[in-house]
Structures are given as C-alpha cells and as structure tokens.
Amino acid sequence: MLAMNHQKSEQLYERAKEYLPGGVNSPVRAYLAVGRTPVFIERAAGPYLYDVDGNSYLDYVGSWGPCILGHAHPEVTEAVRRASENGLTYGAPTQKEIEIAELIRACMPSMEMSRLVSSGTEAVMSAVRVARGFTGRDKIIKFRGCYHGHADGLLVKAGSGALTQSVPDSLGVPAGCTQDTLIAEYNDETSVQRLFEANRGQIAALIVEPVAANMGVVPPGDGFLPFLREITRQNGALLIFDEVITGFRLGLGGAQQYYGVVPDLSTLGKIVGGGMPMGAYGGRREIMQLVAPVGGVYQAGTLSGNPIATAAGITTLRLLKEQPQIYDKIAEHTRVIADTVKDAFGDQVQVNRVGSLMSVFFTGERVRDYVTAATSDTSKYARYFGYLLEHGIYTAPSQFEAMFVSAAHKAEDIERTCDVIRTISHFSY
C-alpha cells in the first residue's frame, strides 16, 4: 500500500494551532510522541474511522474505550436522536437518571448508590472528596504511573499523556494541593505497607486503576488487589477502584468482578456514557449518603445526568447485558492480535493483555510497573504506530496507552490487522 495522503489533515492542524494549544483539545491527540501530524476524523461507523482526506482506518482506539459496541451503533444513535428531540438539557431530574443508576448497581453491586457527573476526572475528584469526608482524614495514596484525571491533587506522577511527554507533574499545581497525595509503586506491596505505617490514622483512601491502563496496560500481580483490600480495611481507609477504563470493559461487573475484589467506592467513565460525556462515582450507601443534599460533602453539576448521555449509556449497558457473549468475542480477538505481535517481533517486545485491553512495549523486560514500562523504546513504538497508520490500522499515538477492540470488529478485520503486523517483521526495529 502506498503512503496515504494527509494533506487536508495537515492543513487543519496548522489552522488549529492558531486557536487551540498545540492544535488539540487533549494532549495525546497531537501525535507529538510519535513524531507525526494528527489525522483529523470526519466520521466513524462500526470498526472504522474515516478522515478528512478520504482515508479509512480499522480503529483500535474507540475514543479511548467507550465505543465497545463500535462507532455509531444504530440502537445507540437512535436513542440519542430520540432523546435530543425532547431537548438537550434540563437541569432538572429525569427518569433516565434513575434507570442508569439501577443498571449500574445491577452490574456492579458494590455501587449501592451513585452520582452521575460529566467526566471521569470529575468522578474521581468527587470520590476522593467523599472518602475524605467519610473518614475525616486528608491523605490519599495513589500509584506512580496511574492516571486519575487532571484534578490538581491527583496529577502527581501521572501516566498517559503526562508520561508520554516526560512531565510526570504539571505546572500550575500548587504544592499545597499535592502535599496529602502519597505515591506508592504499582504491584509493590511493600511500598504500600510503608506508607500506611508512616501515616497511621491519616490516610483516607487508596485509589488504584485495578488494571493500570495509562502507563500502557499493566495487570495487577497475583494477590495485589486482595492485599490492597485487606490493608485498607485494617487501617480504616477506603479502597477506591478507578474503573473509568475497566468498567464494563472486562465484563459487566468491571475489574471488581473480574478479580473478585470489592472496593468501597468506584469511579466510572467511558462506556457508562455510551460515547457521550458522562461519568459516575458510587459505592456503599453509608458513604454516598454523605453527598449533598443529604450530607455535608458538596458536589454539583449543571449537566450531570444529561438526558442525551443517559440515553446513550442506558442503551449501551442494556445491549451489553443482553449480549454477554460480546466479552468472550472481543477478548479472543485481542488474544489473536497479541499473539501475532509476539510472533512478529519475538523478544523485542512485551505484550500485556487483560481481556480486550492490550499494549505492545518495545522492551525485553517484563512490564509490571512504571519503571519497567518506562524502559520501552518509544522511537520503535513511533515507527510501529506510523507503519500501522499508513496501512489503515489506527492505534494509540502513544506507547503508554491501551489498544481497545470492539464488538464491531469482525474476524476478517482481525485477520487483516494481523496480516499488516506480520509484514512489519521485514523492517528493522
């Protein structure tokens, strides 16, 4: 295949840089980590993206996870259309808010009560506030390389876009905002234990991506999540699972069902909104009853529970409940791609996979935490990304992101993807 024409995308990028910082509205979209100009998307359908230059791509980003059913699923888009005909926002209660809360609890019983918000960042920020209100403590533990949104107190040793740009902390975050954020090492029980011992009676919560997916996909080691459950319980701290990515992705019950570990609070995003901007946080009733207006932990949002977003989310969750075989299908398709990458590159790569989440690391070391993830050769990943892109395969423009397979990918799409990957072995890496 000849190199694709990206002339219109390049023109739009130059125009965008005049009005938007870096020409984008989220850092990883700028393609800086892979040394390219971003492609500008015009439309999407099923497993495909179509850019402004007329190129088509098999999409393995899926808007960073929410498009588990594929793009523009007819039942989801019809639900959005019907909802939008009745108005875009009310700032008042609707029945759909109750329906999606019921669905969330049916899928994740630990979320006895939940509060809808507009993003994963907002969900995490609010969950941490509730944990502090419930325990009367200030300090929290997070893990190096895990990303929990861009709230000031959590933008410390972050993953994803911050990791890609080698800026683990952000300018503009006062030291006072992060003084109560303690950093542990993912998959390192000793680092967690030491923090609890050094801060007895002061830690409100420990927050973790149960499967780290913002330093690339890094699964929890054997016994790691049960250890976190036990040590938080022993120390009177709350365990918060950030399931913005894993929620409804590893299964209807998310990572907590997948691994059999029940947190006190959970945060959701991505799939819960069916592709629309929505998040949620929730957990035990006694904790969530502290949220205003019934309790003293304040949190509010004009667009929270938006009727368009709830319509998309309800339809997506219902379809997933009705078709549980989707999870086996997308996990198997992901396994086939992962095995093909291993065969093509041999010991040049490490491929981490959990269900339908996977990442390719160009390193000889087993990737189990931030330090080992950072050993990956990002220049090799950039060449890998560029080759796939020019051959019609759209993957994350960052070494430290996940690959997402959707239910819309057919067996022939997976085989075409594998064929392209196999040809890469002819090139020097």
Options 147, 370, 381, 394, the catalytic residue: 147
- Of the three residues 290, 322, 354, the one that is the final residue of a domain is 322
- Of the three residues 322, 346, 365, the one that is the final residue of a domain is 322
- CATH code of the domain covering residue 249: 3.40.640.10
Options 51, 59, 188, 242, the catalytic residue: 242
Same domain for 304 and 329 = no
Same domain for 333 and 259 = no
- Of the three residues 277, 306, 322, the one that is the final residue of a domain is 322
Same domain for 286 and 262 = yes
Report yes or no on 166 lying in a domain.
Answer: yes
What are the pLDDT digits (tens) for 399-409? Answer: 999 999 999 99
Same domain for 350 and 283 = no
- CATH code of the domain covering residue 389: 3.90.1150.10
Tell me how many domains the chain contains: 2
Is residue 428 predicted with pLDDT exceeding 70? no
Same domain for 187 and 249 = yes
pLDDT at 167: 35
CA 124 from centroid of its chain's CA atoms: 12
What are the pLDDT digits (tens) for 2-48? Answer: 579 999 999 999 999 999 999 999 999 999 999 999 999 999 999 99
Residue 53 known to be catalytic:
no
pLDDT at 320: 98
Query: pLDDT over 70 for what percent of the chain?
Result: 95
Report yes or no on 384 lying in a domain.
Answer: yes
Report yes or no on 2 lying in a domain.
Answer: no
Taking phi over 0 as left and psi of -120 to 50 as alpha, with beta for the rest, 72 belongs to left
260 forms beta bridges with: none
CA distances from 330 to 103, 334, 335, 358 (A): 22, 6, 9, 11
Return phi, psi of residue 181, to 5°: -100, 115
Range of the domain at 189: 77-322
Report yes or no on 397 lying in a domain.
Answer: yes
Contacts of 8 (CB under 8 A, 6+ apart): 40, 51, 52, 53
How far is the C-alpha of 224 from the C-alpha of 281, rounded, in Å?
Answer: 23
Same domain for 399 and 304 = no
Same domain for 228 and 267 = yes
Residue 242 known to be catalytic:
yes
Is residue 158 predicted with pLDDT exceeding 80? no
Residue 186 known to be catalytic:
no
- Note whether 38 and 46 are within 8 A (CB): no
pLDDT at 363: 96
Same domain for 317 and 211 = yes
Report yes or no on 170 lying in a domain.
Answer: yes
226: nearest Cα among 267, 260, 183: 260
Question: At residue 70, what is the residue type?
Answer: G
What are the pLDDT digits (tens) for 226-261? Answer: 999 999 999 999 999 999 999 999 999 999 999 999
Strands 41-45 vs 48-51: parallel, antiparallel or unpaired: antiparallel
Report yes or no on 71 lying in a domain.
Answer: no
Same domain for 254 and 171 = yes
Report yes or no on 127 lying in a domain.
Answer: yes
Strands 279-283 vs 48-51: parallel, antiparallel or unpaired: unpaired
Report yes or no on 72 lying in a domain.
Answer: no
pLDDT at 1: 47
Same domain for 181 and 146 = yes
Residue range 134-151: average pLDDT?
94
pLDDT at 166: 30
Is residue 163 predicted with pLDDT exceeding 50? no
pLDDT at 165: 36
pLDDT at 173: 82
Same domain for 357 and 312 = no
Residue range 358-381: average pLDDT?
96
Same domain for 308 and 168 = yes
What are the pLDDT digits (tens) for 294-339? Answer: 999 999 999 999 999 999 999 999 999 999 999 999 999 999 999 9
Options 270, 370, 384, 413, the catalytic residue: 270
